[in-house]
A and B are shown apart, each in its own frame.
Chain A
């Protein structure tokens, strides 16, 4: 840092004065400290002296008082020296102050004689600087101030630096404005696309809503049909349970009928066996009858030939043989008769049991038929209900097919909505990117403006596309900073 002649003349006396005042202050502080110590010791001595006057002390305290008297004398030279030093330093300070005043008066006289020539030079430099920066008032940023050794040299240098920064700032702001405009345009187009997509989406959603309403109504009908089908199914189930009960009773009765039929079958087998036995006995009787017929013929032949019989002995023999044969035939006939009577009794009993069994069978058959009739009626009702249920199910199936078509259409609409939504998402994403870019540009612009203190008046920006390009401005700015 370059010091002026005025400062050179006043520097030495000023420095010495400061050092003298500093030493004076140190001396005064030491004097005050020493005086304070002396005061304390005087106070102690005064206390001891009062005790001596009251006669309430012994020898040791007198020794202490003597010691205190000795100690009170120790600070006295220091106080005296400090007072002398303070006095000396005070005198020195006054002398230095006087020297400083004289030096100041002499410096004032020297400065007043050289100020007249320098003022003319500075006024010329200021006028030149004013002429050079005058076009800036009309917005011309191409101005450049000449840097000289005069007082305005540093001002011109600072002015040139500020103008260069202003150029860069204006150029950056113009470029940023162009980019902001482009981003805004893209955002506007994206917004337009989003609006169109949203309108189409709204229309598709409206169509889907109508389809959904139609489907909802049909589904309500289907629900009603389902409820009725449920009632019919429940009725069918009830009838089926009744039919099952009837069939169970029928099965029980049929089981009883089967048992009775088994009993009847056994009786019929016995009856057939007895009939076969009777047939066998009948065959025997027929044989006996034939033999009787033969015997009768032979007897008749013998009788007709008896008149011609030559021997009574032969006739007696023939009659004895005939009697034996008749006795044998009678025995055979008697046995056959007894067997047939026994068989007839057995057959009668079996027939009675068979009739009884058949009666029971008929009773069970009647009950079984009645139960079967009930089951048949229940099955008819079940069949009718099943038919009705089948018709309802067929109707539901047809409606379901229609609903499937509607659902398919709805699915296609939803796909369309999905595609539109994707387009909307892409548009929104584009807007987000544009806004992000806009935000970055705004941050860059803010950072650029924060590095400088701009004047409060509005800066007239140059026409777009007629100023410098970004590369040119960057190159100019780099050159200025170099």
Chain B
């Protein structure tokens, strides 16, 4: 049975497969990097390794996220997602929930491609992110300002 980590960032309820998350960090010391995009928070050191941290809320064109940082498994990509709140793991099966007009509007959600796959818990619809696609997307990799 697959587990998914439920969280929210920039007002969006999201979910990611638990096997793609290596650790959850709090109070991670992030050093900003000059000449990068505003959603790129900078570089941090996690478990003795360099970890680039991206603000998912700002990356999605929403408000900036200030919460914990999700460290991805190296297999998925060396990256960290700063989100607002982590709600926990869920073993609820994935269901298909149609996207709302707001979620399909590119002006509302940038750089993220939301799908109908979602986990509904406590009447909240957490859209399941395709973490590998995000990490490998050109928008995610183009951090220059």
Contact = CB atoms under 8 A, between A and B. Distances in A.
Interface of A: 290-291, 294, 297-298, 300-301, 304-305, 308
Interface stretch (B20-28, B100-108, B112-120, B130-138): B20-28
Contacts of A301: 3, 5, 18, 21-24, 89
A290 B73 CA distance: 23
Main secondary structure of the interface of A (DSSP, over half): helix
Most chain B beta-carbon contacts within 10 A, residue among A290, A294, A301: A301
Which of the listed residues B19, B24, B26 has the most CB atoms from chain A within 10 Å of its own CB?
Answer: B24
Given A294-B24, A294-B26, A297-B24, A304 B89 contact: yes
Interface string B77-119: 0000000001011000000000000000000000000000000
Interface of B: 3, 5, 18-19, 21-24, 26, 68, 73, 86, 88-89
Nearest to A291: B26
A300 B3 CA distance: 10
A305 B5 CA distance: 12
A294 B88 CA distance: 9
B44 to A, nearest CB: 16
Contact of A305 (B19, B26, B88): B19
A291 B88 CA distance: 13
Contacts of B21: 301
B63 to A, nearest CB: 22
B18 A304 contact: yes
A340 B26 CA distance: 26
Given A301-B18, A308-B19, A290 B89 contact: no
Given A304-B18, A305-B22, 12 more contacts: A291-B26, A294-B24, A294-B86, A297-B24, A297-B86, A300-B18, A301-B5, A301-B23, A301-B24, A304-B3, A304-B19, A305-B18
B88 A297 contact: yes
Contacts of B73: 305
Contact of A290 (B3, B19, B26): B26
Contacts of B88: 297
A300 B23 CA distance: 10
A478 to B, nearest CB: 157
A347 to B, nearest CB: 31
Contacts of B19: 304-305, 308
B121 to A, nearest CB: 15
Nearest to B68: A294
Nearest to A296: B88
Contacts of A304: 3, 18-19, 89
B47 to A, nearest CB: 9
Nearest to B3: A304
Contacts of A300: 3, 18, 89
A149 B92 CA distance: 204
A341 to B, nearest CB: 28
Nearest to A290: B26
Contacts of A308: 19
A298 B23 contact: yes
A401 B48 CA distance: 107
A290 B27 CA distance: 12
Contacts of B26: 290-291, 294
Nearest to B47: A321
A308 B2 CA distance: 12
A308 B76 CA distance: 14
Indicate the member of A294, A297, A305 with the most B CB atoms within 10 Å: A297
A297 B73 CA distance: 15
Contacts of B3: 300-301, 304
A342 B24 CA distance: 35
